Structure 1
Amino acid sequence: MPFLGPEEHEMLARHLTGLVCGGGKRLRSRLVHWGYRASGGLPGDPAGEAAVLAAGCAVELLHACALLLDDVMDEADLRRGRRTAHLALADRHGDARWQGDSARFGESAATLLGMLAFTWADAALLGTGPRLAESLEVFNRLRSEVIGGQLLDLTCAARGTSTLRETALVSVYKSGKYTVERPLHLGHAIAGGDPALRAVLSAYALPLGEAFQLRDDVLGVFGDPALTGKPAGADLRQGKQTYLVVETRRRTGSYGAALLDGVHDEAGLATARELIVACGALSAVEDRIAGLARRASAALDDAGVPADAAAALAELAFLATDRSA
């Protein structure tokens, strides 16, 4: 973008390029690759591998957009152990003594960087070649579902109440389809895979995606900030209605709800953690994660998936659920 000046280019390099290239699990782009291989895509095929790379770049750029906007909406302080983009940009505004409100500038600039990432994701997807139409159909579903899941999550938090069904829907659309199912379908589309195999990939992806989100929920309360790169207890302080929180409320009634709603400091977080463990909610969620991971792995048994792809997907199922960050 040659019309931008040095200030804007530095923002892009630090807060967008840095976010895309500076860490993260790359789970979604890896699943694009293994969705392609599972669907008959040939290793070493230059055209196929170029298309997979393009699609992987598209999902990583979209994820950068989601992270930037999530941090603004959640008023988050840290992302991957670093000050979030909107706060760092607000600091820059204040230090330079620019005009206007620094916080407003930071949020606006971070939002615009997210919109650039969203736009560049489309540009990357153009590299998927002759399967562009099929790839775009999957990618548009992915984007619509994650935005809808985020809206449902936001509404549940604002209401302060949620059902287990609603939290499960958030897990499916904000995480399950976005993180696992649609990236696999994107690889399947590039490979021109058998429609029956797409159903197999979904049978693997949906339980794994839910388990991935449940692990995030647990880490949001019990995780080590040095490993997660985010403050512990942020979900509780923000009133997020995660499966773990809703299950705790169900088991503890109004007493538990009052404790969970009162998390404002480290002492409140410690009390909430004790409650979640004592009432059995944490154990129940851990059991659910383990069961979902088993379902995901079992979906690949005798499904006609090439051995190397089946092994890689089984390993990714383990990495997605048995993690500390």
Structure 2
Amino acid sequence: MTPSPSPPDVDLAPHVERVLAEFLHEAGDPIRRTEPVVGPAIDALTEFVLGGGKRLRPTFAWWGWRGAGGDPDGPDAEGVLRAVASLELIQACALIHDDLMDSSDSRRGSPTVHVAFAKRHADHGWLGSAAGYGLSASVLIGDLALAWADDMFSAAPLPAATLAAARPAWRAMRTEVLAGQYLDVHTQATGDASVEAALRIDELKTAAYTVRRPLHLGAALAGAGPELLGPLLEFGEDLGIAFQLRDDLLGVFGDPSVTGKPAGDDLREGKRTLLVALGLRDAGPAEREVIAAAVGKADLSVDEVTAVRAALHEAGAVDAVERRIAELTGSAMAALGRAELTGAAAARLTDLAVLATQRTY
């Protein structure tokens, strides 16, 4: 007999997995029956969504709900689980499209969606371009994830007034993450390596969508007012930027077994992160040349990544980013201290802050 999972407050991830699996089956089964050829695309999305991830966004949303008075034993708990789990479908859309835009070959140790579908085309000997087929398939699968995210959120079994209260946060989050994605593409195309551009992308692409808006969504589902939302969103903003800055460091210095992506991939993809912006601004001529030559070089070697790492250290960029992470984490925790959260929410959000910003390289 399979043991019952721990309550969501103890271990949220299995509950998120359960409601995601249920929804993906419910949403995919009708189209599978009428259009079997779409089955591989639905399978790919299902495997992508259920195949890993830290579930940070639903977790922040759940604890935003709990901190604003949500009752895990009450009648709304299952509906809230569905609503917050839908954030993972937004994440799936963002990652599938991000991998395509960045020409990434792997994620979590497996081929990216566009690579897998290009191989499928080639293996079957179909007409036209295998790469073009992979590109088209990944765009459509990402779009499907976005559409299903809306379906999952809107169909969550909650009172209409509860969903309506959270819908502004949901809408803002969708717009902000796509705006952040566009800014990221724009800075790569224009070569804008300014500190200001890097931080603005961090605010929209990660802070808003990973921490701030999930907290907003969860708290709104519990009926939170401005006196709680103010400090909670301030906490989310600062922590979200700190989280992205940690991710930027991992993108250059991280262990692929931890990050799920090859070392130096952010450099190969031409990302103008704060780390890179500070390195280019503060490095001496020789180090600046090493960094500049590496950004956007698709065939960057391991030795070249090592040289960039040394140049970033020499420029003081690594220490500067570490200081910024510490400052932002400190201001985030101060804001959290001002939020009058109920139950164990403050302690759990503190734990999440450590998880999101800890040094792992």
Cα distance in 2 between the residues matched to 1:51 and 1:163:
43
Q: How does 1:262-277 map to 2 (within 5 A)?
A: 262-263=293-294, 264-277=300-313
Identity among equivalent positions (%) equals 43
TM-aligned CA distance change 1:302 to 1:172, over 3 Å:
closer
Equivalent residue number for residue 41 of structure 2: 11
TM-aligned CA distance change 1:129 to 1:256, over 3 Å:
farther
SS at match of 2:205: helix
* 1:3-56 CA distance string (max 9 Å, x none): 221x4213321x211111111010000011001011111221122x12321222
Matched, 1:118 2:154: no
Task: For CA contacts below 8 A with separation 6 or more, give which structure has more relative contact order.
Answer: 1
Contact 2:232 2:339 in 1 (8 A): no
Cα distance in 1 between the residues matched to 2:52 and 2:269:
25
Q: RMSD of the alignment, in Å? A: 1.4
Equivalent residue number for residue 154 of structure 1: 185
Matched, 1:39 2:68: yes
Matched, 1:185 2:216: yes
Contact 2:103 2:269 in 1 (8 A): no
Cα distance in 1 between the residues matched to 2:151 and 2:359:
33
Matched, 1:198 2:229: yes
Of 53, 58, 62 in structure 1, the residue corresponding to residue 81 of structure 2 is: 53
Cα distance in 1 between the residues matched to 2:151 and 2:260:
30
Of 134, 137, 146 in structure 2, the residue corresponding to residue 109 of structure 1 is: 137
Of 297, 306, 323 in structure 1, the residue corresponding to residue 333 of structure 2 is: 297
Contact 1:40 1:191 in 2 (8 A): yes
SS at match of 1:230: coil
* 1:87-106 CA distance string (max 9 Å, x none): 01100110010111000001
CA shift at 1:226, angstroms? 1.5
Contact 1:51 1:129 in 2 (8 A): no
Of 230, 237, 258 in structure 1, the residue corresponding to residue 268 of structure 2 is: 237
TM-score normalised according to structure 2 size = 0.86
Of 267, 271, 282 in structure 2, the residue corresponding to residue 251 of structure 1 is: 282
CA shift at 1:254, angstroms? 4.9
Equivalent residue number for residue 17 of structure 2: none
Of 43, 52, 65 in structure 2, the residue corresponding to residue 23 of structure 1 is: 52
Cα distance in 2 between the residues matched to 1:12 and 1:115:
12
Equivalent residue number for residue 4 of structure 2: none
Contact 2:279 2:317 in 1 (8 A): yes
TM-score normalised according to structure 1 size = 0.95
Unaligned runs of 5+ in 2: 1-30, 295-299
Equivalent residue number for residue 15 of structure 2: none
Q: How many corresponding residue pairs?
A: 322
CA shift at 1:135, angstroms? 2.0
Cα distance in 1 between the residues matched to 2:137 and 2:71:
42
Cα distance in 2 between the residues matched to 1:302 and 1:137:
24
Contact 1:33 1:187 in 2 (8 A): yes
